[in-house]
Structures are given as C-alpha cells and as structure tokens.
Amino acid sequence: MPEYYIGLMSGTSLDGVDAVLAAGRGGRLQLLDSAHLSYPSRLRERLLALHRSGNDELNRAALLANELSDVYASAVRRLLARAGVRARAVTAIGCHGQTVRHRPRAGYTTQLVDGARLAERTGIAVVCDFRSRDIAAEGEGAPLAPAYHHAVFGAARRSRAIVNVGGIANITRLPARGAVTGFDCGPGNCLLDAWVREKRRKPFDAHGAWAARGRVIPQLLKKLLAHPFFRRRPPKSTGRDDFELRWVRRFLSGRERAADVQATLTELTAASIALAVRAHCRSAREIFVCGGGARNRALIGRLGALLPDRRIATTAALGVEPEHVEALAFAWLARQALKRRPGNLPSVTGAKGPRVLGAIYPR
C-alpha cells in the first residue's frame, strides 16, 4: 500500500498556501491532487509588517503563527475533500511555514507555524522547522528543494539546472557527473509583486503583461545589480531582508514611469538568474523553470534572450507542473524525516554534513 503525504508551501510571495497530496511508492512521490488557498489581504499585510522590527513582535508573531496554522489546516481539509481521502490515511504533513526572517549568518531563521496546533487541527502528524538543523550545522538553511530536485529531475547523461522563481529565485545545478549544487540567486517575484500591488492594487503582474508594456531603465538596472549579494559565491541564501521596495526606492527619482520600473525589476530577476547560470552552471544546457515565475511570459522571454544557447522550458516538460514542485518537495522532506534520512545537501547549503531535517509533531 502507498503512503500518503501532504506538502504545504507558503513562500516569500505571500500569496497563499499551495497544498499537494502525494502517494509514496519506493523512492518516489506521485502527485494525486492539489489545492491553493489565498491569504486574506489583512493577513498578508500583517505578515509583511512583521518582516521589519517593530513593537510587540513576539506577541504578533505568535498570534500570526496560530492564524497561519489555521489557514494551513483549512488548506489540508480542502485538499482531502477534493481527493476523497480521509485524514487518518495520511502519514504526515510537511509544512514549510511562512518565513519572516532568514539570517543564517546570525545563526537563525524564522518560519511561522505552530506544528502542534496544525497537528491538533488536522489529526495528522506534522513535520516543520526544516531549516534550523542545517543552520545549526553551519549551513545556510536554504535552499532545501535541491535534494528533491536531484531525486526527481536528475538525469545520468544530461547536465541540467532547475530554476525556482518564487518570491526569491534559486538554482539547482544537476550535473551529469559530480556533486549537486544550489543556491539563492536573488529576487524572484517579491519585488515584482510588491511594485504592482503598490501601483495597481493587484496581487501580481499576470503573465508579465504590465512589465511588457514598459521599458527597462538601464541606469536603475545597473544600480540594482550592484547589490553585493550578486557578487557572493555560493553557498548563499537570501530573503526579503535583502530585497524589498525600500531598497529599490533608494535609487528612484520619482519621475520614472511605473511600468518602466516593473520592466526593470523583471529584467533584474532575469539578469540575476542568467548571470548565476553562466557563472555556476556552465555545463547545464537545459534550464527548467518552476514556481510562480514560470507563468510570467515576459520573464521567461527575457531568460531565453539572455541565455540563447540553452534550452528554456518549465518543469512540466519533466512531468511536474511548475506550481506543484515546491509543495511536493516538502511532502518529500517530511517523508525523509520520518524515515530518518537526510534532507539537506551539504554541497548546496554548506552544512558540515548530511542532516535529518524537521521537528516532528505526532498525530
């Protein structure tokens, strides 16, 4: 009989939670069903506010963790109802939680979720807090998906790169021979979503249509690409702590057309990915994109223009829809934890060695 696992992913884009139900047979997980639950706008605003230091942070964070856990539980119930599967048939939930701080150089990372509350609300065992053990082992704590990418997308005779464009963009290098590597390469959708939300009151730039109407501002792009993160060598990870609109506004005069800024931010994401591919994934002739950014036609078009010597496609070409990859990765990580198998790749995070990741809350 297969084992059932649920993966929950709520990323830096703060749009909501992606939930997947997967069946495990052997070393693989097969997607059975999926669901998405959007965050209420007020919850998103309070999460954004918590990314900056402020009054009463401990209380605010604890209350938000409770509220998020209830949202996650609702997503689980919706998913199980769609799939016609009972909670008692599910072995575990792998929940990433909502990142509000990621500062591995200071020795900590914070993803909001109350694993005990989620286990109580669903009646299913929960595995969460995946990043902390890697950071304790002197790693970056992210990205964690490359171990899953290696298990699912690796090819014995082909060198590939998997580019996940969520709020933050990260790359997994899957060489035909040698160690898997991976790292965060810069902003993905976080700046794009923040700018369109501020200027057009929309949650995201659908298909990159607004960016496509603008023109890149070369001097602004040059200043943004001068961020020291882009010059750091892997392993490295980042988050909203480094890339938010306050940073962009430092370089704006106020006279720019809003659509031109959006086009420039789109180019920043594409250019930082292309720079990272050329610097660290030279042998990868195939680039497969996943995450919300895979549906941004303007972004994918720019990636193709900047990397004309590589094949650019989404992970759908490898059998997994782009929006399901990250949630499936956390279902896989939950399975790894329960089986006491490592979930990190030291060649990716820089940790001292392989570690079993996650805190387990039994049903």
- Mean pLDDT, residues 328-343: 97
315, pLDDT greater than 80: yes
CA dist 161 and 152 (Å) reads 13
> Which option is the CATH number for 3-142+324-361: 3.30.390.10, 3.60.10.10, 3.30.420.40, 3.30.360.10?
3.30.420.40
Mean pLDDT of the chain: 96
Do 3-142+324-361 and 145-322 fold alike per CATH?
Answer: yes
- At 25 the pLDDT is 77
Q: Whole-model pTM? A: 0.94
The tens digit of pLDDT for each residue in 234-249 reads 999 999 889 999 999 9
- β-bridge pairing 311-314 and 286-290: parallel
- Strand, coil or helix: 200: helix
Q: How far is CA 93 from the centre of its chain?
A: 17
CA distance 161 to 37: 29
The tens digit of pLDDT for each residue in 29-59 reads 999 999 999 999 999 999 999 988 889 999 9
Mean pLDDT value across residues 337-350: 97
Predicted pLDDT of residue 12: 83
Helices (H) and strands (E) in the chain, counts: 13, 13
Identify the bridge partners of residue 346 per DSSP, sorted by sequence position: none
Reported as a pLDDT band with limits 50, 70 and 90, residue 354 is very high
CB 338 within 8 A of CB 36: no
Question: pLDDT tens digit string along 124-146?
Answer: 999 999 999 999 999 999 999 99
pLDDT at 26 over 80: no
Distance CA 200, CA 183 (A): 32
Average pLDDT over residues 59-64: 97
359 contacts 113 by C-beta, under 8 angstroms: no
274 pLDDT tier (thresholds 50, 70, 90): very high
Give the tokens for residue 271.
């250019």
Q: Measured in Å, how far apart are the chain's first and last C-alpha atoms?
A: 20
Q: Assign domain 145-322 to its CATH architecture.
A: 2-Layer Sandwich (3.30)
Sorted by where each begins, the domain ranges of the chain are: 3-142+324-361, 145-322
Closest CA to 225 of 262, 264, 196: 264
